[in-house]
Structure 1
Amino acid sequence: MLTRQRKQLILEKLSSEGQVLSKTLSLEFQVSEDTIRRDLRELAADGRLQRVHGGALPASKAVSSFAERSHLGIDAKKRVAQKGVELISPGQIVMIDGGTTTTELVRCLPADLSFTAVTHSPGIALALVEHPRVEVILIGGRLFRHSVVTVGAAAIEGIERIHADLFFMGVTGIHPEAGLTTGDYEEACIKRAFSGRAAETVVLASPEKINTASPFLIGDLSLINTVVVEDDTDSRWVEAVVGLGVSVVKA
């Protein structure tokens, strides 16, 4: 079997099963594990998968630039964002992560909803200017241009001074085994800091994030309380997530 053919079969297996194991592939294709690891390494370099210990998971498509991500699965993002708004109660302190799905959340807010928003996203802060009943606290720090959010020690210091009711966490991958992941190390640190200061953490999971992984771990699924997904999300994935103690809300 040609290398190209083997790689294609690996990708097909990854798509159908949600993960692949190096040892299993080695036995199936009757090649060494070193050969399989090389295949996985090359596929990962092309952005086709995310390598993990012992094998690989589907790579998240949600790690491109903010401008590119803003056009990715926009209808699905709107649906989960509209459902997410229903989780906000008047008078709450709500932390809102940066990201294209949380941007849709802000766009879906009713004009008469009154709460305090805490964010490290200048874009979300500016969008909330159109909501006069929402008090806005903008967390400062170094601007991370890829995601248009602030990061660094100053941002974490600001976050640690707040007790919030809700945190809407942005992720690029959510997987029952690989956990919550994102594409940048510092962003992962910021997300953990936010989650640690909120009574409840919610992930708005549009389809491109489900059952995928990115290089940097935010934490396992015990870090969150609720995930909002589309109604037709794979039932096996939903069952796995619920089995880990996370509530699943369908949009």
Structure 2
Amino acid sequence: MLTSQRKKHLLDLLALDGRIVAKTLSEQLGLSEDTIRRDLRELAKEGLLQRVHGGALPASPAMAVFAERENISADAKSAIGRTAAGLVQPGQVVFVDGGTTAVQLVRHLPADLRATVVTHSPSIAVELLNHPHIEVIMIGGRLFKHSIVALGAAAIEAIGRIRADLYFMGVCSLHPEAGIGTGDFEESCVKRALCDAAAETIVLASPEKLDTASPFQIVPLSRISRIVVDSTVPEHLIAPYSALGISISLAFETHK
């Protein structure tokens, strides 16, 4: 089998089974594990999969730039945003992450809601300009253009001085074994600080992020109180989180 054929076979298997186990596959194909691992390394460099211990998982499409991500699962993200917005209670202090799904959350907040939103995302702050009763506190730092959020030591220090009721976390990937991930180390540190400073963390997970992996873990799944997902997501993708005691909120899309 040529290298190109072998790599295509690996990607086909990954799409079919949702994971690759290097040892098992080497036995099936009669190839050395080193050969399989070399192919996985090269495919990972191309962004076509995410290497994990013993094999590989699908790479998250959320690694794409912001403008491209806006068009991925647009209806599902709107539904997730609307459902998540309904979890915010009057008077609460709420951390809102950056990202395309978080933008949908703030767009669905009631016009008369009185609350405080703390965010390190200029995009989120701008969306709240027309909410007269929502106080917006911005966290500053170095602008990470991929997610349009502030990062760095100054951001983490400021977050540590706030105690929020809720943190709506955006993620690049969510997997029962690989956990909650993102594609940038520094961004993972800021997200972790936000989680540490909130009484409850709620993950916003659009369909393309489920059962995928990213390079940098944010927090263990045990730190998550709730996951908001699109109602069309198959039950087998949700069941592992329910089994861990994480509440699941199903977001139903509205069809015009």
Cα distance in 1, alignment partners of residues 111 and 195 from structure 2: 27
Is 2:171–2:203's contact at 8 Å kept on the other side of the alignment? yes
Between the aligned partners of 2:110 and 2:156, the Cα distance in structure 1 is: 30
In structure 2, the gaps of 5 or more residues are 252-256
The aligned residue for residue 160 of structure 2 is: 160
- Residues 178, 220 of structure 1: 8 Å contact kept: no
Counterparts of 1:180-219 in structure 2, within 5 Å, are 180-219=180-219
Matches within 5 A, 1:78-227: 78-227=78-227
The aligned residue for residue 49 of structure 1 is 49
Post-superposition offset of 1:12: 2.0
Q: Shift in Å at residue 16 of structure 1?
A: 2.2
Normalised by the length of structure 1, the TM-score is 0.97
Once the two structures are superposed, residues 132-152 of structure 1 have per-residue CA deviations (whole angstroms, 9 ceiling, x without a partner) of 110111011111122111111
Secondary structure of 1:181 counterpart: strand
The within-5 A match list for 1:48-67 is 48-67=48-67
Amino acid at match of 2:240: A
Q: Deviations over 1:172-223 (max 9, x none)?
A: 0000000000010000000000000111101111011111011111122112
Structure 1 partner of 2:230: 230
Worse overlay, 85-94 or 235-244: 235-244
Deviation of 1:86 (Å): 1.1
- Specify the SS of the correspondent of 1:94: strand
| TM-score, with length taken from structure 2 | 0.95
SS in 2 for 1:130: coil
Residues 116 and 136, structure 2, Cα contact 8 Å, conserved in 1: yes
RMSD over equivalenced CA pairs, Å: 1.0
Alpha-carbon distance between aligned partners in 2 of 1:30 and 1:109, rounded to the nearest angstrom: 56
Distance in 2, Cα, partners of 1:220 & 1:49: 21
Q: Deviations over 1:81-108 (max 9, x none)?
A: 1111111111111100011110111111
| 1:26-58 deviations in Å (ceiling 9; x for gaps) | 111110000000111111112110001111000
Structure 1 Cα separation of the partners of residues 167 and 111 of structure 2: 20
The code of the aligned residue for 1:47 comes to G
The 10-residue stretch of structure 1 (218-227 or 165-174) with the greater mean CA deviation from structure 2: 218-227
Q: Which moved more, 1:37-46 or 1:178-187?
A: 37-46
Q: How many residue pairs end up in the alignment?
A: 251
2:16 corresponds to 1:30: no
Partner residue in 2 for 1:73: 73
**AA aligned opposite 1:78:** S
